[in-house]
């Protein structure tokens, strides 16, 4: 790595000195400016790898400088320094493209961590930023989604992912993480609706030994487990109000206190959240805190429903059928033209997940020839209700969604096993597959206990 250069913009001499000394100890050359005019002149003369700017400056505010940098040097990470309690300004800065924010008085440990993360964005050029092989589809709406993800991945701003059930919100969250400077650290996904309410605080923030009955050892919470990485809160609307308050504080202060702990612990995680519910409506109904919604919804990312991108269905079918054939040791599975046409005009309330299930079911009845429209067993009432197919040309491409597919497959098989009290013969029959195929999948998915 070449020696990094940092631009520090602040009109307080003691803050400038503190930041300059701290960055020099990180082997970063720091150049200082006391106002926006001086900063803009320095930006024209030097190539910087990071910028730290105060929000209040003699000739304007840090937001103005941030907006200028977004136009002239959009890849330069900017950390804004705000007065304690000025979260509204910090959120506004991140909405405008800031990498992250830093509260005054400056915590040097937090400063060093933020700077380290930001420099990864500046110096790392080998990340795999292409996601066409993961988020399949060449429709205009999918191309736009991938483009947004590429930009979002360069910051640490919280992202709120919306979309119907089965659209792939967790898959989108994983792609954001993979393309970010945090890709080498953990990605922790949690279904907020699956944790018993009485255990939520312990699960999220950890606990100390003896803090309650059954706490026989210290336990790390999800925030600590995701250290340096990404914490994905799926179905965030299911969080009870009492935990919403504590989650809000953790996001604002970047600190958590384990249950039974005497001291707060600094956390370094990026928060991604998702739900299929209308969170804004829940806020109006008093079921979700408005201030928390404001904090997690810094960037809003909508994942399209399948019937809004019908032209992607042939590509998705080709991918799923390839995976199904491979997993079940079948010869090439093919759809008839009428079957593809029927799927493109079918309303998918379960979206991509439902399409995969339809193809799985059809493959179970495969006779070695071709899968027809009749083999799909589509519900007549759902035909002809999807939106018109886009006119953009379809570009065939065989790719892998292995992680996503395995997670869905694992959940479906686990549910079936539990329903049938772990009777494999009954489970295979319920899932419409052979016993041999079920045994193969159990082994592949790590369920063969």
Which among 244, 250, 236 has a CA at the least distance from the CA of 292? 244
* Average pLDDT of the residues in 391-414: 53
Looking at the fold, whether 162 and 258 belong to one and the same domain comes out as yes
Give CA–CA dist 404/355, Å, rounded. Answer: 14
pLDDT of residue 403: 52
CATH number of the domain within which 317 lies: 1.10.8.60
Q: Domain range holding 100? A: 4-123
pLDDT of residue 389: 43
Looking at the fold, whether 270 and 166 belong to one and the same domain comes out as yes
CATH number of the domain within which 155 lies: 3.40.50.300
> 310-338 pLDDT, tens per residue?
999 999 999 999 888 888 877 778 888 99
pLDDT of residue 26: 93
Give CA–CA dist 183/131, Å, rounded. Answer: 14
241, part of any domain:
yes
Domain count of the chain? 3
Looking at the fold, whether 90 and 152 belong to one and the same domain comes out as no
Statement: the pTM of the whole predicted model exceeds 0.85: no
Give CA–CA dist 318/279, Å, rounded. Answer: 35
Query: Which residue, of 273, 302, 331, is where some domain finishes?
Result: 302
CATH number of the domain within which 98 lies: 3.40.50.2300
Structure letter (DSSP) for residue 103: E
Looking at the fold, whether 262 and 327 belong to one and the same domain comes out as no
Looking at the fold, whether 92 and 191 belong to one and the same domain comes out as no
- The overall average pLDDT reported for the chain is 86
Give CA–CA dist 404/426, Å, rounded. Answer: 26
Looking at the fold, whether 374 and 257 belong to one and the same domain comes out as no
Q: Which residue has the higher pLDDT, 123 or 143?
A: 143
In this model, does residue 104 exceed pLDDT 80?
yes
Looking at the fold, whether 24 and 92 belong to one and the same domain comes out as yes
* Average pLDDT of the residues in 282-299: 93
258, part of any domain:
yes
Query: Which residue, of 302, 337, 372, is where some domain finishes?
Result: 302
260, part of any domain:
yes
330, part of any domain:
yes
Pairing status of strand 50-54 against strand 4-9: parallel
Which residue has 């201030």 as its token pair? 291
pLDDT over 70, % of the chain: 91
Looking at the fold, whether 410 and 264 belong to one and the same domain comes out as no
In this model, does residue 243 exceed pLDDT 70?
yes
Looking at the fold, whether 42 and 64 belong to one and the same domain comes out as yes
203, part of any domain:
yes
Q: Which residue has the higher pLDDT, 103 or 445?
A: 103
292, part of any domain:
yes
Query: Which residue, of 123, 148, 181, is where some domain finishes?
Result: 123
pLDDT-based confidence at residue 406 (cuts at 50, 70, 90) = low
Looking at the fold, whether 294 and 373 belong to one and the same domain comes out as no
Which among 277, 289, 273 has a CA at the least distance from the CA of 159? 273
The residues near 206 (Cβ < 8 Å, ≥ 6 apart) are: 218, 219, 220, 221, 223, 224, 256, 258, 259, 261
Distance of CA 186 to the CA centre of its chain: 12
pLDDT-based confidence at residue 407 (cuts at 50, 70, 90) = low
Looking at the fold, whether 163 and 231 belong to one and the same domain comes out as yes
Mean pLDDT is highest, among 19-23, 214-218, 374-378, 402-406, for 19-23
360, part of any domain:
yes
pLDDT of residue 261: 82
pLDDT-based confidence at residue 229 (cuts at 50, 70, 90) = very high
Looking at the fold, whether 427 and 319 belong to one and the same domain comes out as yes
> 65-97 pLDDT, tens per residue?
999 999 899 889 999 998 866 788 888 999 999
62, part of any domain:
yes
Q: Are 139 and 390 in contact (CB under 8 A)?
A: yes
């Amino acid at each position: 790595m070449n020696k990094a250069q940092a631009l520090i913009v602040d009109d307080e001499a003691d803050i400038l000195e503190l930041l300059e000394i701290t960055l020099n100890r990180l082997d970063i050359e720091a150049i200082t400016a006391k106002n926006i005019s001086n900063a803009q002149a320095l930006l024209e003369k030097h190539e910087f790898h990071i910028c730290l700017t105060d929000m209040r400056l003699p000739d304007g505010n840090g937001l103005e400088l941030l907006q200028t940098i977004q136009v002239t040097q959009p890849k330069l990470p900017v950390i804004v320094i705000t007065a304690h309690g000025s979260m509204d300004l910090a959120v506004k800065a991140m909405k405008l493209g800031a990498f992250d924010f830093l509260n005054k008085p400056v915590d040097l440990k937090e400063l060093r961590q933020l700077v380290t993360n930001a420099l990864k964005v500046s110096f790392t050029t080998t990340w795999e930023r292409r996601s066409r092989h993961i988020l399949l589809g060449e429709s205009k709406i999918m191309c736009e989604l991938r483009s947004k993800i590429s930009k979002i991945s360069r910051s640490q701003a919280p992202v709120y992912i919306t979309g119907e059930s089965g659209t792939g919100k967790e898959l989108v969250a994983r792609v954001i993480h993979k393309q970010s400077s945090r890709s080498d650290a953990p990605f922790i996904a949690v279904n907020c609706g699956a944790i018993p309410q009485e255990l939520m605080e312990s699960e999220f923030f950890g606990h100390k030994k003896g803090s309650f009955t059954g706490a026989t050892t210290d336990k790390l919470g999800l925030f600590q487990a995701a250290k340096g990485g990404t914490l994905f809160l799926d179905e965030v609307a299911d969080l009870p109000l009492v935990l919403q308050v504590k989650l809000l504080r953790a996001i604002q202060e970047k600190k958590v206190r384990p249950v039974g702990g005497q001291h707060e612990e600094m956390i370094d995680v990026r928060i991604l959240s998702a739900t299929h519910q209308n969170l804004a409506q829940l806020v109006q109904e008093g079921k979700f805190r408005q201030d928390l919604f404001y904090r997690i919804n810094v960037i809003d990312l909508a994942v399209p429903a399948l019937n809004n991108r019908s032209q992607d269905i042939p590509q998705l079918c080709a991918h799923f059928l390839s995976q199904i054939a491979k997993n079940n040791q079948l010869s090439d599975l093919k759809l008839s033209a009428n079957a593809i046409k029927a799927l493109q005009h079918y309303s998918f309330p379960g979206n991509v997940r439902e399409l995969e299930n339809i193809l799985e079911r059809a493959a179970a009845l495969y006779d070695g020839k071709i899968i027809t429209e009749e083999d799909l067993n589509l519900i007549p009432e759902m035909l002809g209700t999807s939106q018109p197919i886009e006119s953009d040309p379809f570009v065939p491409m065989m790719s892998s969604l292995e992680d996503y597919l395995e997670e869905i497959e694992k959940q479906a098989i686990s549910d079936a096993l539990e329903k049938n009290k772990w009777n494999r013969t009954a489970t295979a029959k319920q899932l419409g597959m052979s016993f041999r195929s079920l045994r193969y999948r159990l082994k592949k998915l790590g369920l063969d206990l």
